[in-house]
Structure 1
Amino acid sequence: MIWNTMMGTSILSIPWGIKQAGFTSGIILILLMGILTLYCCYRVVKSRQIIPLIDTSNWEFPDVCKYYFGSFGQWSSLLFSMISLVGAMVVYWVLMSNFLFNTGKFIYNYVHDINVTDIVPGTNGSNKVICPSAASGHLPWNRSVVFSADNITGFTLFEKWWNKSQTVPFYLIAVLLPMLNLKSPSFFAKFNVLGTVSVVYLILLVTVKAAHLGIHLEFHWFTENEFFVPEFRILFPQLTGVLTLAFFIHNCVITLLQNNRNQENNVRDLSIAYFLVGLTYLYVGVIIFASFPSPPLSKECIEQNFLDNFPSDDIMSFVARIFLLFQMMTVYPLLGYLARVQLLRQFFGNAYPSLFHVLALNLAIVGAGVAMARFYPNIGGIIRYSGATCGLAFVFVYPSLIYMISLHRAGQLTWPALIAHIFIILLGLANLIAQFLL
């Protein structure tokens, strides 16, 4: 359950993050961030148990923050929780626009027997890999299209009304906005299995593509190369920002573990879940990076969504986009419900005070998603900014502060523990600052 919940859209950006950090440093960072976030998540799970003389069995982590930090802890935890939820919903909207666009283009070209040959750099053959934005010049999606004169008008009209950034993000409103306004999204929770199916299929896709493409690795430790990136790059904080959200489950881990039949196994189950998540990220990231055909392409061509490195007429990628599109369309209302419950219940004492309140909130969230898909459709950037921001509070600061305060009140705080947890807080702060500097 924890593995399924944690495995989200970040998996699509892990190969790009490894490219930004460098192959060797990328692997090291995934391992280190997995261990660090696991420890902080462990501190969240234990945070209720270290409060004396109070029944905390029904408490969530924001309640613990309120106990230690008063109203500031309550409202700041709400703020950062909303950042994580709305940030995830924005990423979902950008990705759903991307998947819907490519799916529509594939269907249109197939029905009208249109042969599209991409001008952007790419490999030849049945397992083609493309470079939508090369390292120098950010090459556009220009293409030569081979079709009969009778289809020119129809294809031009299709291109006008089926545009990835200008029209498709708006089409999603008609489907998803009514879903957000439902009082209970329990119907969509039944499709939770789609998340597992999508991830398993992505692993299958990555394996098959790597088997056909082969391994393309060449180690250059600090120097640039025409086709390869250095093993260690100054841009590595971009990967740590992505990983903060990729390993983020701290705001709901207590709720998830409450369903455990044997509560004494919580730490074991949490550790196994983090191990599986880290292994999945490592497998997908390493295989995509290692098999990316360089030469003739450069590793710099790896996109923030690695599915964009496969053309829209690639069958396996088409199926992956279909899976992910339906999965996200069922998860999106659940995220909106969580955001509504957390925000409106704090302000009005009711998760559904009126249709007007709910509609106003949902219009704001949907508007943010449409605006990002229209003007800033960079999922890697959105993930790392929102991940580093919400992670600063829920991953690094609050768990460490609460643990140090509890040790101090019990007279058990030692210098090694103090230094170690202050260092964790400084790492989180540095992680957030670095996102805006690189």
Structure 2
Amino acid sequence: MIWNTMMGTSILSIPWAVKQAGFTTGICIILLMGLLTLYCCYRVVKSRTMISSLDTTNWEFPDVCKHYFGSFGQWSGLLFSLVSLIGAMIVYWVLMSNFLFNTGKFIFNFVHHVNITDDILSTNGSNPVICPEAGGGSQPDNHTMEVFSTNNTDFQQFEKWWNKSRTVPFYLVGLLLPLLNFKSPSFFAKFNILGTVSVLYLVFFVTWKTIQLGFHLEFHWFISTEFFVPEIRIHFPQLTGVLTLAFFIHNCVITLLKNNKNQENNVRDLSIAYFLVMLTYLYIGILVFASFPSPPLSKECIEQNFLDNFPSSDILSFIGRIFLLFQMMTVYPLLGYLARVQLLGFIFGNAYPSIFHVLVFNLIIVGAGVSMACFYPNIGGIIRYSGAACGLAFVFIYPSLIHIISLYNEERLTWPTLLVHAFIIILGIANLVAQFFM
């Protein structure tokens, strides 16, 4: 359950983030961030048991924050929780627009018997990999040359009404906005299995493509070449920002572990889940980076969504986009429900005060998603900024401060413990600040 919940949109950006850090540095950072976030998550799980004077059986982590920090802890916890939820919803909208665009393009080309020749750098052969960045930006719209067996007017109309940044993001509004207004998310919760299926398919997809493409690696520690990036890069904070959200489950881990029949196994199960997530991220990140064909392309071409490195005509990537599109369309209303419950429930004491309140709230969230899909469709940037922001509170500061305060109250605080947890807090602050300079 924890593995399934934690595996989200970040998995698509892991190879790009590894490229930004450098291959060897990226592997080390994934391992270190996994262990660090696991420890902080362990501190969250143990935070309730440190309060011996009250019955904390039904408490969630925001309740613990309120106990230690008062109304400030409650408000700030709500704020950072909303940052993580709304940030994830924006990323989902950008990705759904991407997947819907490529799916429609594949169907149109198939129906009209269109042969595609990309005007961007690509490899030759039966398993092409493309470099969209070389075609005019990291998020190309319709930059392809089409060879037709039908009237060219059909293609011009298609290009006009099926554009990745100008039309497709708006088409999703009519489909998803009504779903956000449901009072209960129970219908969409039944489709959680799609998340597991999607991740397993991505693992299969990456494995199969790696077998076809082979490994393309050269190790240059500090100097980049025409086709390879150095092993150590100053852009590594971009990976730590992405990983903060990729390993983020701290605001709901107590709720998830409540369902454990044997509560004494919570730490063991949490550790196993984090190990599996680390293994999945390492597997995807290493194989996509290592198999990316350089030469003839450069490793710099690895996209923020690695599926963008495969043309819309690729059947396996088409299937992957279909899986992910349907999975995200079922998860998106769940995220909207959680955001609505937290904000409207806190303000009005009711998660559904009226259809007007809910509609205005949903329009704001949907508007943010559409705006980002149109003007800033960079999922890696959105993930790392929102991840570093929400992680500052829930991953680094609150768990460490609560542990320090509880030990101090029990007169068991030692200097080594204080210094270690102060260092964790400093790392969280540095992680957020570095996102604006890298």
Length-normalised TM-score, structure 1: 0.99
Q: Is the 8 Å Cα contact of residues 207 and 287 (structure 1) preserved in structure 2?
A: yes
Q: Structure 2 CA distance, aligned partners of 1:166 and 1:112? A: 23
The residue identity in structure 1 corresponding to 2:362 is: N
Q: Structure 1 CA distance, aligned partners of 2:25 and 2:240? A: 11
Q: Is the 8 Å Cα contact of residues 189 and 334 (structure 2) preserved in structure 1?
A: yes
Flag the 1:34–1:138 CA change in 2: closer, same or farther, 3 A: closer
Flag the 1:138–1:378 CA change in 2: closer, same or farther, 3 A: closer
Does residue 219 in structure 1 map to residue 189 in structure 2?
no
Matches within 5 A, 1:83-94: 83-94=83-94
Name the structure 2 match of 1:367: 367
Name the structure 1 match of 2:312: 312
The residue identity in structure 1 corresponding to 2:104 is: G
Name the structure 2 match of 1:243: 243
Q: Structure 1 CA distance, aligned partners of 2:116 and 2:46? A: 56
Q: Structure 2 CA distance, aligned partners of 1:402 and 1:331? A: 32
Name the structure 2 match of 1:256: 256
**Structure 1 residue 142, shift from structure 2 partner:** 2.8
Q: Is the 8 Å Cα contact of residues 135 and 300 (structure 1) preserved in structure 2?
A: no
Matches within 5 A, 1:77-88: 77-88=77-88
Does residue 97 in structure 1 map to residue 101 in structure 2?
no
Q: Is the 8 Å Cα contact of residues 17 and 238 (structure 1) preserved in structure 2?
A: yes
Q: Is the 8 Å Cα contact of residues 391 and 428 (structure 1) preserved in structure 2?
A: yes
Q: Structure 1 CA distance, aligned partners of 2:290 and 2:26? A: 12
Extract unaligned runs of 5+ from structure 2.
none
SS of corresponding position for 1:79: helix
Q: Structure 2 CA distance, aligned partners of 1:137 and 1:172? A: 24
Matches within 5 A, 1:216-365: 216-365=216-365
Q: Is the 8 Å Cα contact of residues 120 and 135 (structure 2) preserved in structure 1?
A: no
SS of corresponding position for 1:117: strand
Q: Structure 2 CA distance, aligned partners of 1:379 and 1:234? A: 20
Q: Structure 1 CA distance, aligned partners of 2:53 and 2:40? A: 24
Extract unaligned runs of 5+ from structure 1.
none
**Structure 1 residue 123, shift from structure 2 partner:** 0.4
Name the structure 1 match of 2:76: 76
The residue identity in structure 1 corresponding to 2:186 is: S
Alignment coverage as a number of residue pairs: 437
The residue identity in structure 2 corresponding to 1:146 is: V
SS of corresponding position for 2:215: coil
**Structure 1 residue 135, shift from structure 2 partner:** 10
Name the structure 2 match of 1:174: 174
**Structure 1 residue 125, shift from structure 2 partner:** 1.2
Flag the 1:138–1:207 CA change in 2: closer, same or farther, 3 A: closer
Name the structure 1 match of 2:205: 205
**Structure 1 residue 145, shift from structure 2 partner:** 1.3
Q: Structure 2 CA distance, aligned partners of 1:139 and 1:309? A: 11
Flag the 1:162–1:277 CA change in 2: closer, same or farther, 3 A: same
Q: Structure 2 CA distance, aligned partners of 1:226 and 1:421? A: 42
Q: Structure 2 CA distance, aligned partners of 1:336 and 1:143? A: 35
SS of corresponding position for 1:47: helix
Q: Is the 8 Å Cα contact of residues 139 and 378 (structure 2) preserved in structure 1?
A: no
Percent of matched pairs sharing the same residue: 77
Q: Structure 2 CA distance, aligned partners of 1:428 and 1:53? A: 30
**Structure 1 residue 137, shift from structure 2 partner:** 7.1
SS of corresponding position for 1:359: helix
Name the structure 2 match of 1:144: 145
Q: Structure 1 CA distance, aligned partners of 2:322 and 2:412? A: 54
Q: Structure 2 CA distance, aligned partners of 1:35 and 1:70? A: 30
**Structure 1 residue 406, shift from structure 2 partner:** 0.2
Name the structure 2 match of 1:126: 126
Q: Structure 1 CA distance, aligned partners of 2:361 and 2:59? A: 26
Q: Structure 1 CA distance, aligned partners of 2:396 and 2:138? A: 35
Q: Structure 2 CA distance, aligned partners of 1:302 and 1:410? A: 51
Q: Is the 8 Å Cα contact of residues 180 and 337 (structure 1) preserved in structure 2?
A: yes
Name the structure 1 match of 2:409: 409
Name the structure 2 match of 1:114: 114
C-alpha RMSD of the superposition:
1.1
**Structure 1 residue 136, shift from structure 2 partner:** 9.3
Q: Structure 1 CA distance, aligned partners of 2:317 and 2:138? A: 23
The residue identity in structure 1 corresponding to 2:174 is: A
Deviates more, 1:52-61 or 1:284-293: 52-61
The residue identity in structure 2 corresponding to 1:184 is: S
Q: Structure 2 CA distance, aligned partners of 1:259 and 1:153? A: 58
Q: Structure 1 CA distance, aligned partners of 2:194 and 2:217? A: 34
**Structure 1 residue 185, shift from structure 2 partner:** 1.1
Q: Structure 2 CA distance, aligned partners of 1:368 and 1:38? A: 31
**Structure 1 residue 52, shift from structure 2 partner:** 1.7
**Structure 1 residue 138, shift from structure 2 partner:** 5.9
Does residue 52 in structure 1 map to residue 52 in structure 2?
yes
